[in-house]
Amino acid sequence: MSLRHAVLGLLAVAPASGYELAKHFEYTLPRVWHAQNPQLYPELNKLARNGYIEVIERGPRNRNTYAVTDAGRAELRRWLTEVEPDRTMRSEVYLRAFLLPLTLNSDDALGVLRREAQVWRQEADSLRAMLDRSEQLVARGDAHLLAYDLNLRLAEAMLGWCEEAFQRIQSRDGASDALDRT
């Protein structure tokens, strides 16, 4: 499991509180890694007990800001460079895309694909706009841009697939219509 390394990684990018991490997972990483409050707070305490992170500031409302320690940074580096990634995935989006053309009739499939294409087109557009804006503000080599770029490429892949699937199903349908008419 990699929640441990997800948290460690985010804190290596910038110190944060549990509350901020939760927002981060919800708004900036929803297509990458997902985690909520009841996982985060116990995990932060565990990482702190093991010496990978530490509280660097106590704010109002019991706010604890955590940062990675040297040991944490070393562990993160070890994980990224030496541990063979688990490349299996479990994505409802991909599962639906897989099943849709295989199990739905053409009308249902085309309807769902039209809606899905819309979602990914919007996501791709807003990521592209964000990247355009950012490239004027920060240095072109800024590593944050690469994170957006990954999301953009995945959204574009989904959009491209939706459009391809739509066309193929439509022409398959057209072909059978044509056959029916002869």
Partner DNA sequence: TTATTCATGTAATGGGTTACATGATTAG
Partner DNA sequence: CTAATCATGTAACCCATTACATGAATAA
Residue 106 touching DNA (CB under 7 A):
no
Place of tokens 């562990």: 75
Cβ(75)–Cβ(52) below 8 Å: yes
Residue 87 touching DNA (CB under 7 A):
no
Contacts of 166 (CB under 8 A, 6+ apart): 110, 113, 114, 117
Q: Least distance from C-beta 71 to a copy of itself, angstroms?
A: 15
Cβ(165)–Cβ(110) below 8 Å: no
Residue 16 DSSP label: B
Residue 18 touching DNA (CB under 7 A):
yes
Single out the residue of 42, 111, 160, 174 in contact with DNA (rule: CB under 7 A).
42
Specify the 3-state DSSP secondary structure of 81: helix
Residue by residue, DSSP assigns 5-32 as HHHHHHHHHS-B-HHHHHHHHHHT-TTT
CA-wise closest residue to 10 among 24, 23, 27, 31: 24
Total number of residues that touch DNA (CB under 7 A) = 24
Query: Which is closer to a copy of itself, CB of 55 or CB of 147?
Result: 147
Residue 28 touching DNA (CB under 7 A):
no
Distance CA 2, CA 107 (A): 40
Q: Where are the beta strands (DSSP E) in the chain?
A: 53-58, 64-68
Q: Which residues contribute to the site for a copy of itself (CB under 8 A)?
A: 2, 5-6, 9, 12-13, 29-34, 73, 76-77, 80-81, 85-104, 108, 111-112, 119, 139-141, 143-147, 149-150, 153-154, 156-158, 160-161, 164-165, 168-169, 171-172, 175
Single out the residue of 12, 15, 19, 145 in contact with DNA (rule: CB under 7 A).
19
Q: Least distance from C-beta 35 to DNA, angstroms?
A: 6
The letter for the amino acid at 160 is: G
Q: Least distance from C-beta 92 to DNA, angstroms?
A: 10
Residue 62 touching DNA (CB under 7 A):
yes
Residue 49 interacting partner from a copy of itself, DNA, none (CB closer than 5 to 8 Å by kind) = none
